[in-house]
Amino acid sequence: MSKKKSYLSRLVRSWKKLGPGLVTGASDDDPSGIATYSQAGAAYGLATLWTAIIAFPLMASIQQMCARIGLVTSHGLTGTLKKYYPRPVLYLMLLFSFPAIVMNIGADIAGMGAVGNLLFPSVDANYFSVVFTILLLGLIIYLPYQKIASVLKYLCIVMLVYFIVPFLYKQDLAEIIKSTVIPTIKFEKNFIAILVGILGTTISPYLFFWQTSVEVEEMKNKKTHLMVNKKIIHEINQDVDFGMTVSGFVMYFIILTTGTVLFNGGVHQIDTVEQAAMALKPLAGNLAYLLFTIGVIGTGLIAIPVLSGSLSYIFTETFGWEQGLDKKFHEAKGFYVIIAISLILGLSLNYVGITPIQSLIYTAILYGLTAPVLIAIILHISNNKKIMGDNVNGKISNILGFTALIIMSLAAIVLVSMQFIDM
């Protein structure tokens, strides 16, 4: 009994140590991301399963740099850009980030509304979208930061449903292992587009801004001032690694689920997350369908506050307004107004003729263009001793960071080329 208590106490302590990294990782697998992974699995089976393994170290290294920048500078990424870089760079990031994040929010709200309608067919999807938007806005405005952080962290438990769904269907273990460790690349337009889409939705610029700013929030809410040292950085890296591991596993299991159940069942065209859920029902059973749809709603509740929060941090740091989820509405009106505007604009996309799939495409293009530039800036900051002091990048961080930069730059070139050239 004492061993069980000791194990539980260690588990509780470990859980309490987890913070922004877990939430950031979980928000990476938002409904729009789930739609992208589902498209990959349905269209190409297990051929893209290896991307989850490749993406993990790349996104973890960038997020670790972002966390360290926030910890060392006590500024978000936008504040650091504003302080050390030319204003045109800052305004360019703002110009590209605003529409991309708003369209991402819109796609996620629409996805949540659609699966809500699947669970309760008598209620129109648009009503669910409105209800989710109002619920999220109310929670963000009225809950203090620590409560929001706690709620988001516990919502991450919902992600576990995606670890269960694949095992409700018979799997070929040998084929899974082969597809995981041996990369498959098909030199055709649609397959390359899927790979670019996976990279864009996995290594997303809004996560860079969120991770940096929320680390500053965490520091503000500590009862005592933390001196930046190797122990603190190690703990933050562990938090980020855990969050990115969860994100990578969810991505892996969604591709695994759709790549076996849907692909083998003859369903090869998936455009939206609700189509993926509906297609699972007759092929994998009601339980798989139910868990998949619940997971979509849970991930949306995690991701949308992160998306709207990151956009608000970008704006408020750019213009020097009061900011922070730890502040009440009257203390940081501009901060919360930006969040409200982003949610309302995202919701309105469903009523102006922009479909969720169009939002995903436009978001991927804008993210694809901004990600390489931001990664280059993050690498420059992380290696600048004037800014980071002794906490500059190590060799492994730089290798992974520059690998991410090269891959995302190539992805951006391919993405732009595909818009103008018929491959």
pLDDT tens, residue by residue, 188-204: 878 888 888 888 888 88
Provide the mean pLDDT of the chain: 82
How confident is residue 155, by pLDDT bands cut at 50, 70 and 90?
Answer: low
Cβ-in-10-Å burial (0-12, 13-18, 19+) of 245 comes to middle
Give the pLDDT of residue 5: 56
Tokens of 173: 């273990």
Domain tally for the chain?
1
- Is residue 119 assigned to a domain? yes
How confident is residue 158, by pLDDT bands cut at 50, 70 and 90?
Answer: low
- Is residue 104 assigned to a domain? yes
User: Does residue 379 carry a pLDDT above 90?
Assistant: yes
User: Does residue 384 carry a pLDDT above 60?
Assistant: yes
User: Does residue 409 carry a pLDDT above 70?
Assistant: yes
Higher pLDDT, 399 or 141: 399
Running DSSP on this structure, what letter comes out for residue 261?
I
Domain span including residue 113: 20-420
CB-CB contact of 65 with 382 (8 Å): yes
Running DSSP on this structure, what letter comes out for residue 158?
G
Running DSSP on this structure, what letter comes out for residue 171?
-
Per-residue pLDDT, averaged over 290-313, amounts to: 86
- Is residue 9 assigned to a domain? no
User: Does residue 224 carry a pLDDT above 50?
Assistant: no
- Is residue 385 assigned to a domain? yes
Question: What are the tens digits of pLDDT across the range 13-45?
Answer: 555 555 666 677 777 778 888 888 888 888 998
Name the region of 143 (left: φ>0; alpha: ψ -120 to 50; beta: rest).
beta
- Is residue 105 assigned to a domain? yes
- Measured in whole angstroms, the distance separating CA 361 from the mean position of its chain's CA atoms is 16
Q: Which is it for the CA torsion 91, 401, 243, 358, positive or negative?
A: positive
Give the pLDDT of residue 371: 87
pTM summary value = 0.86
- Is residue 5 assigned to a domain? no
Give the pLDDT of residue 313: 92
Give the pLDDT of residue 83: 87
Give the pLDDT of residue 279: 79
How confident is residue 93, by pLDDT bands cut at 50, 70 and 90?
Answer: confident
How confident is residue 241, by pLDDT bands cut at 50, 70 and 90?
Answer: confident
C-alpha distances (whole Å) from 116 to each of 256, 278, 291, 356 are 24, 12, 12, 15
- Is residue 10 assigned to a domain? no
CB-CB contact of 67 with 236 (8 Å): yes
Give the pLDDT of residue 221: 67
- Is residue 309 assigned to a domain? yes
User: Does residue 8 carry a pLDDT above 80?
Assistant: no
CATH value at residue 36: 1.20.1740.10
Give the pLDDT of residue 146: 64
